Structures are given as structure tokens and as C-alpha cells.
């Protein structure tokens, strides 16, 4: 058995011919429209705007969203989403997929909780590829501890006045809208609401943040100085936004786990191919026992993690909310990624250290995967509390 991206994915009993066909479609789009330009876009720090339109035409932007709001339809399930995450991870440049698919965390709260007018206007603009929407939760003083956020919204006539800031916002420099967590009530989780903020409003300013990885996606700190937000831009009920945020996090963690596990497969594929070609001390790297053991350990972790991913994706698809399990899955997947990225770099040696190599890029992106969407420490503590430990 040759270790390749495809062979490293264990069979999934919940996937059928529709998932295989979707994989072929996404892979064709990625190979034609993205792979030849990865290095160019990484160095530029942006993906081109026309990529969004191409992704719309390919059905990528609207997967799982209702057709009346510009989507491709809701017959797509969680496993079609996992296929999407996996095929985008093949790029080996997480910034491209995070920039292209940032609406995947910014738009769901609107679709779940927003007014009909909001869903129609924002959904169609975003899913057509015309505009972007990002998610604004993290603040300079509050990251995973969402209940402590400080950005404040105060009633002002027929709207709100917002003051504060959000940071580490993917797409923050280029998005039109921000689904924003604000404090409209007292302290703690009970005083949080969600507002849709137009980032072209008076009083909004943005500061771009240079990063270790994900170069092709722009990341920003966004400041709100007495920004007026119309009353109709409230997403869901006032002071009940915390629960919408938590529901959104579960979907984000599932997607990140799929991306991390697939990125680990990229690392193993690259390392295995190199080990077949590279010779040291008169024989191939793959003929050295220590290298074979490294590759076997990578495969072991990838298969275990992907099986775990499929199990909990099935639970989510069937209406369950396995909070503890999703938290542990996210940790499992990012630890697998970290292990495989390290071992692949060791096998590749100097070749993996050169800019432009998939493993080099993935290695730089390990930390954002381990921290974003809930750090390993927060995830373990969340799981422990859910399990009454």
C-alpha cells in the first residue's frame, strides 16, 4: 500500500456516490483554479476577488445553503462539508481556504437566527461571491472566554451605538460585514447579543495583522468608535447571542478537525513520496527502519482521528450535539496534525524547509489550528466539565 492523500483516508460508511462525485468536482476546481497560483497568492497576502465568483460557479460557496438565499440547496449533508474541507486542505495553504470560505462561520448565525430580510440580502450577496462576511468574537482582552467580552452596544433611538474592538478577524480587511458579538446587557453570558455590522460604516477602522502562517488570508483588528448599527441588524434575540455563538463553534470545530486531519494526510503523503526517492547511506530513506516507523505512526494517528471525525459528524448530522466529543475531536485532530507536520519535516530534511513546499506551509500553520476555534487547553476543560469530571 502506498501512502497517498486518498489511501490515508479510511472508508467512511456514511459517504455514498454523491460524496464521491462532489469530491471529484471540488478536486477538479482546486487543481485548475487554485493549485497553480498558491505561491503567488501566498506572497501577495490575498486571493483574487474573481476566485469567489469561480467558486460560486463551481457550487463551492453555496453548499448546504437554501436556494432561496443564493445557496446550492440543503440536500448536502455534513459529509459533503467534510469532503470540501479535505479537498481544500490538499492545497497545503490554509490561508487560501480560510479566506475563500470565511462565510462558513460568519453566515450561519444569520441563517439560523436572522430576519427573513437579512437572510435574503446578506445571503445572496455573500453566496454569489460579490461580498464577504466574517465573524467577530475574539477581543484583545477576551479570546476563548466569550462570556467576558467587552465590546459594548448601547441603545440609541432606532439603533445601537457600538464601541470596542475585535481582533484576529480572518477576512477583517476585505469583508463587507461582520457578525459581531457585543454586550447589550449585564456581565456574563446572559448579556451578549449578535449584531450585523457594516464594516464600511462611519467609526469603523481596521488594522492588518502580519502572521506566521495563513499568509493568503488577511487578518485584522477592527475598532468601533461610536458606530451606529440599525435596530434591524440585531441577529436573533437581545441578550441571547451567547447560545448562537456556542452552536456556531460546534460547526467550526468539526470543520477545523476535518481540515487538520486532511492536512496531516498531506504531510504523510509528501513524506512517503520523498522517502521513496531520497537515498542515504546507499539505500532509500524508506528502507531505513526508523523512517518506516515514522510513516507508520503518522498513518496510525491519521486513521484514528479520521474515524473519530466521521463518528461525531454522523452524530451532528442526526441532530445530536456532542459538545465534549467535538471538543476532544478538535484536540485530537490538531495534535495529529502537529505530530505529522513535525515528522514530515524530519523526513524531508532541508527540502521541507524551503518556501513553497506544502509541508513547509502546513508546519507554519499548526499553531493557528491548535488555537483557533478554541485552544487545546480550553477544549480539554470544556470536555471535562461536560463529562462532570
Residue positions annotated with a catalytic role? 252
How far is residue 142's CA from residue 151's CA, in Å, rounded to a whole number? 10
Long-range contacts of 271-275, Cβ-Cβ distance < 8 Å, separation of 24 or more: 271/295, 271/298, 271/343, 271/344, 271/347, 271/348, 271/359, 272/2, 272/3, 272/4, 274/347, 274/348, 274/351, 275/347
The residues pairing with 365 across neighbouring beta strands, listed in sequence order, are: none
Please report, for residues 129, 163, 196, 312, the alpha-carbon distance to residue 236 in angstroms, rounded to integers and kept in the order given.
25, 20, 11, 27
Cβ(175)–Cβ(106) below 8 Å: yes
Kindly list the distances between the CA atom of residue 181 and the CA atoms of 13, 303, 308, in Å, as whole numbers in the listed order.
38, 37, 31
Judge contact between 272 and 295, C-beta under 8 A: yes
CA distance 215 to 165: 23
DSSP annotation of 201 reads S
Distances (CA, A) of 246 to 4, 108, 178, 181: 36, 12, 17, 11
Which is it for strands 219-230 and 159-170: parallel, antiparallel or unpaired? antiparallel
**Neighbouring C-beta atoms of residue 217, cutoff 10 Å:** 28
Do residues 170 and 223 make contact, with C-beta atoms less than 8 angstroms apart?
no
d(CA 216, CA 95): 5
Nearest to 133 by CA among 152, 151, 160, 111: 111
Asked if residue 286 lies in contact with residue 275, where contact means CB atoms within 8 angstroms, the answer is yes
Amino acid at each position: 500500500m502506498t501512502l497517498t492523500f486518498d489511501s490515508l483516508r479510511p472508508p467512511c460508511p456514511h459517504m455514498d456516490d454523491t460524496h464521491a462525485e462532489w469530491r471529484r468536482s471540488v478536486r477538479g476546481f482546486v487543481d485548475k483554479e487554485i493549485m497553480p497560483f498558491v505561491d503567488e497568492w501566498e506572497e501577495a497576502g490575498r486571493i483574487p476577488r474573481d476566485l469567489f465568483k469561480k467558486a460560486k460557479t463551481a457550487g463551492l460557496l453555496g453548499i448546504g445553503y437554501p436556494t432561496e438565499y443564493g445557496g446550492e440547496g440543503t440536500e448536502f449533508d455534513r459529509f459533503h462539508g467534510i469532503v470540501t474541507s479535505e479537498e481544500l486542505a490538499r492545497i497545503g495553504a490554509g490561508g487560501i481556504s480560510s479566506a475563500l470560505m470565511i462565510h462558513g462561520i460568519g453566515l450561519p448565525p444569520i441563517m439560523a437566527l436572522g430576519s427573513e430580510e437579512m437572510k435574503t440580502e446578506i445571503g445572496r450577496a455573500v453566496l454569489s461571491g460579490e461580498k464577504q462576511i466574517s465573524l467577530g468574537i475574539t477581543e484583545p482582552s477576551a479570546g476563548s472566554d466569550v462570556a467576558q467580552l467587552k465590546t459594548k452596544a448601547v441603545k440609541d433611538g432606532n439603533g445601537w451605538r457600538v464601541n470596542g474592538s475585535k481582533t484576529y478577524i480572518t477576512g477583517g480587511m476585505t469583508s463587507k460585514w461582520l457578525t459581531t458579538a457585543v454586550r447589550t446587557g449585564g456581565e456574563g453570558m446572559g448579556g451578549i447579543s449578535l449584531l450585523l455590522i457594516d464594516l464600511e460604516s462611519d467609526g469603523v477602522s481596521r488594522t492588518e495583522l502580519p502572521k506566521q502562517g495563513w499568509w493568503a488570508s488577511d487578518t485584522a483588528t477592527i475598532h468601533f468608535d461610536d458606530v451606529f448599527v440599525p435596530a434591524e441588524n440585531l441577529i436573533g434575540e437581545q441578550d441571547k447571542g451567547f447560545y448562537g455563538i456556542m452552536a456556531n463553534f460546534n460547526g467550526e470545530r468539526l470543520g477545523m478537525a476535518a481540515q487538520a486531519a486532511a492536512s496531516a494526510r498531506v504531510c504523510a503523503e509528501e513524506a512517503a513520496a520523498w522517502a521513496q526517492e531520497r537515498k542515504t547511506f546507499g539505500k532509500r530513506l524508506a528502507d531505513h527502519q526508523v523512517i518506516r516507523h515514522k510513516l507508520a505512526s503518522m498513518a496510525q494517528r491519521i486513521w484514528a482521528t479520521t474515524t473519530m471525525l466521521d463518528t461525531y459528524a454522523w452524530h451532528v448530522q442526526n441532530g445530536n450535539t456532542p459538545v465534549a466529543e467535538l471538543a476532544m475531536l478538535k484536540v485530537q485532530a490538531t495534535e495529529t496534525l502537529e505530530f505529522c507536520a513535525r515528522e514530515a519535516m524530519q523526513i524531508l530534511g532541508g527540502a521541507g524547509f524551503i518556501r513553497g513546499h506544502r509541508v513547509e506551509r502546513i508546519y507554519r500553520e499548526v499553531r493557528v489550528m491548535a488555537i483557533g476555534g478554541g485552544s487545546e487547553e480550553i477544549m480539554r476543560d470544556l470536555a471535562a466539565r461536560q463529562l462532570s469530571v
